[in-house]
Amino acid sequence: MKKLFFTTLFFSLIIDSEAQSLFVASGNTITVTNTNEFSAENNITNNGTITNLTISGSNALNISGTGTINNLIVNKALGTATCTGGMQTITGIYTPTSGVLAANNYLKLRSNATATAQVAAGSSSGGYITGNVNVERYIPAKRAWRFLTTPLIGSSNNSIFYNWQNNGSAVANYGVELWAPTGTTAPSISNNGMSLGGATNIKAYNSTTNAWDLVTNTNTSTLFDGTTNKAYGVFVTGPFTTNSTGNIYTGATATTLKATGTLIQGTHTKSLGTATAGQYFLVGNPYASALDPKSISLTNIANNFYMWDPNCAGTYNSGQYTTYNRTANTYALVGSGSGSVYTSGSSNVSTDNTAIQSGQAFFVQADAAAATAITFNETDKVSGSTNVFRTSSTNVQTLRHTLKKSINGVVTNIDGALGIFYNGGNAAVDYNDAAKFSNSTENIVLRRANGSFAIEERPLVTENDTLFVRLTNTNQSAYTLELTGENFTNTPGLTATLKDAYTNTSLPLSITDTNRYNFTVDANAASTGDRFMIVFKTNTTLPVQFTNINATQKGASVQVDWKVATEQNIKQYVVEKSTNGINFTAIATQAANNIDNSSYTAIDNSPMNGSNYYRILSTDNSGKQQYSNVAVVKIGGKQSRISVYPNPVTSNTMNLQLENIAKGNYTIQLVNTQGSVVMQTKLQHAGGSGTQSIDLPNTLSSGNYVLKAVDEKGVLFTEKVVVINKY
């Protein structure tokens, strides 16, 4: 066999059939500055280091030795590259372009304080790596909870003890100390595998009871099975010991968890069964790669993921929950000052610091009582690794709420909440509004309909929209409320005001910049809790003020009527239509009268069966644009119905959607929870489907009501209505 010895090479090199084989001796390095420039087609013995290597050709070849390869590409037209002995350690990226690599338990994906090796996107059918692979997950020296998994499957040697506890061997800086009150001073394969300690530090989430179950035996509890990987909550303090002498009660030591099995490859679906609406599941990242959370495919799963961020302070400095929203591609609590490594991505591009990392698990929530699943595709993988375990469309508007406090002289982001506004957002509460996973330290939440939310989704901001802010678990201390608006530049004339109910003060806010409001929580209960709200207003100097928009079915057509109170230098109005409430197209244009209190009408001669949404876009002579509210008409419905849109009602106007309602005069009442009529008015309807607007009294309080509509024949329609009084 011809052997080639290299110390350091800085040029393109191809090893082909004439060279027969490549041999890199221990202590030597082949440095190739660009990937794809160093290609090997025959046997490789690597006991040193190769920075970039491509395995190509159409013949079978063997790989042996105990070396390191930074970036490895397998691009073979035919033949298998087979690891036959030793251990090849990947420290960067393995890219499966074409062909098969037979690992045979001789391939390791390294993780350390600098980076974690990953497998790039490959074939959707998988099969590009066969045999067992050793996968590592580095954990820094910090006593903190972590949601952990490993990207493997297999039906043997798959217990927690065999893998994360080194199968009973004490290896310096490897494995994890797992303990329970029922443990032993000598954990082994012959007992429950757990050290003797205080409260159990490893838990499995029970989605049936929506609660954590304590792991009582790591020899019988599996890390993965033949189908998928499993996820656990682990309080990590240091490596495994055979005599319970690790950091059980104090201290922390950096460690690396390792597991051995078959890599999960190709499209991978986790079928979570028939869920109940609101049910939570702890899901592990199935790939040896970071994932773009925005692109994962969901079936009856809400739009928010819940992560545990061990880098945040939380109780006893052990981390806290943070919530990710796919619509805005951001987290409720991010970066600077919080300790969190998470940042905000754009709405259609994720970054390393928004990604779900290799070895990380996260919560999802079912949004319907139906078959629930989450599907991961190879194309969901993203390059790079972020030390989560170490120290869209521009029409998505966000208002970030961050609660800050000085801790030991350092201003720290304690908690965060996020208001998200976009065209098509649901005005009512649904499972895309992320319920708050409360921390035992301070919490900031957004309140609506008696719920507390880390992330609240709504339609685009309109006049009198309000975010209600609640603080919990606060101390008698000085705090800062930081409010940052994003993507509000396309909403002309919109203003926002922070109202402090305790001090009875108001602060005008910039909705395109960062605002900071210093306040103090004292012994008075009113100094915390429901103290703050953010109220949005439309500047009264806007060139046009819409008073209402109605849409009514007229035979086979829909008539759209709108009125304006003021017009100043308006060029035109464009009537826009949508069948889904999200994507609108223009159907008519009318020149403006530029006369106050003007009325306009347009006809849609081609309405669709189902819901038809209409809005008006005004454009002034300088090009400034403004939208009206949205009116809805449902065509072809079989049942007569009166409903409220949007619901909750967040302004002084309540819009009634009438579907196939008979012509006549109707008495409209709002009845409170005590049965008292708090508002009554008359409505005249021409018949069919349409929208009618009703002005609400300024004295009407926030709360739950029942809308009653009674015609002259006594036919009664009812609808539950939530009113949020905006001021």
CATH code, 661: 2.60.40.3080
Same domain, 709 and 669: yes
Residue 334 in any domain: the answer is: no
The predicted structure's pLDDT at residue 7: 36
Residue 211 in any domain: the answer is: yes
Euclidean distance between CA atoms 576 and 560, whole angstroms: 10
> Is the model's pLDDT at 317 over the cut of 80?
no
Query: Of 125-134, 557-566, 677-686, which has the strongest mean pLDDT?
Result: 125-134
> Is the model's pLDDT at 36 over the cut of 90?
no
Return the structure tokens found at 426.
Answer: 């649901």
The predicted structure's pLDDT at residue 87: 94
C-beta atoms surrounding 524 within 10 Å: 9
**Longest Cα separation, the chain:** 101
Return the structure tokens found at 142.
Answer: 């910090």
Question: Each residue of 447-461: b (16+ CB within 10 Å) or e?
Answer: bbeeebbbbbbbbbb
Residue 630 in any domain: the answer is: yes
Same domain, 521 and 565: no
> Is the model's pLDDT at 43 over the cut of 50?
yes
Same domain, 408 and 476: yes
> Is the model's pLDDT at 346 over the cut of 60?
no
Mean pLDDT of 21-40: 69
Indicate the residue among 257, 276, 297 that finishes a domain: 257
Same domain, 143 and 249: yes
Host domain of residue 193: 139-257
Nearest C-alpha neighbor of 316 from the set 439, 222, 189: 439
> Is the model's pLDDT at 469 over the cut of 70?
yes
Q: Could you report the per-residue pLDDT of 646-665, keeping only the tens digit for each?
A: 888 877 788 888 887 878 88
Query: Of 215-229, 524-538, 591-605, 652-666, which has the strongest mean pLDDT?
Result: 215-229
Strands 290-291 and 320-325: unpaired
- Average pLDDT in the chain: 85
Indicate the residue among 617, 635, 653 that finishes a domain: 635
Mean pLDDT of 30-47: 74
Mean pLDDT of 326-343: 65
Euclidean distance between CA atoms 150 and 164, whole angstroms: 10
Same domain, 697 and 631: no
Same domain, 418 and 517: yes
Binned at pLDDT 50, 70 and 90, residue 255 comes out as very high
The predicted structure's pLDDT at residue 348: 41
Residue 470 in any domain: the answer is: yes
The predicted structure's pLDDT at residue 197: 94
> Is the model's pLDDT at 299 over the cut of 60?
yes
Binned at pLDDT 50, 70 and 90, residue 293 comes out as very high
Three-state SS sequence of 38-90: EEECCEEEECCEEEEEEECCCCCEEEECCCEEEEEEEEEEEEEEEECCCCEEE
The predicted structure's pLDDT at residue 233: 95
Number of folded domains in the chain?
A: 5
H or E element that contains 164 = helix 160-164
Same domain, 399 and 527: yes
Contact (Cβ atoms closer than 8 angstroms) between residue 370 and residue 305: no
The predicted structure's pLDDT at residue 353: 64
The predicted structure's pLDDT at residue 214: 96
Same domain, 74 and 90: yes
Q: Could you report the per-residue pLDDT of 534-543, keeping only the tens digit for each?
A: 998 876 455 6
Quote the radius of gyration of the chain (alpha carbons, Å).
31
> Is the model's pLDDT at 193 over the cut of 50?
yes
Binned at pLDDT 50, 70 and 90, residue 676 comes out as confident
The percentage of residues in the chain with a pLDDT greater than 90, rounded to a whole number, is: 49
Strands 232-236 and 202-206: antiparallel
Residue 265 in any domain: the answer is: no
Same domain, 177 and 233: yes
- Residue type for position 720: K
Euclidean distance between CA atoms 267 and 125, whole angstroms: 6
The predicted structure's pLDDT at residue 543: 67
> Is the model's pLDDT at 623 over the cut of 90?
no
The predicted structure's pLDDT at residue 539: 60
Could you give phi then psi for residue 161, rounded to 5 degrees? -60, -45
Indicate the residue among 222, 257, 292 that finishes a domain: 257
Residue 307 in any domain: the answer is: no
Residue 528 in any domain: the answer is: yes
**Who has greater pLDDT, 240 or 464?**
240
Residue 98 in any domain: the answer is: yes
Same domain, 528 and 402: yes
> Is the model's pLDDT at 360 over the cut of 70?
yes
Same domain, 575 and 704: no
The predicted structure's pLDDT at residue 11: 35
> Is the model's pLDDT at 395 over the cut of 80?
no
Euclidean distance between CA atoms 690 and 661, whole angstroms: 9
Same domain, 412 and 529: yes
Strands 466-472 and 443-448: antiparallel
> Is the model's pLDDT at 675 over the cut of 90?
no
**Who has greater pLDDT, 625 or 116?**
116
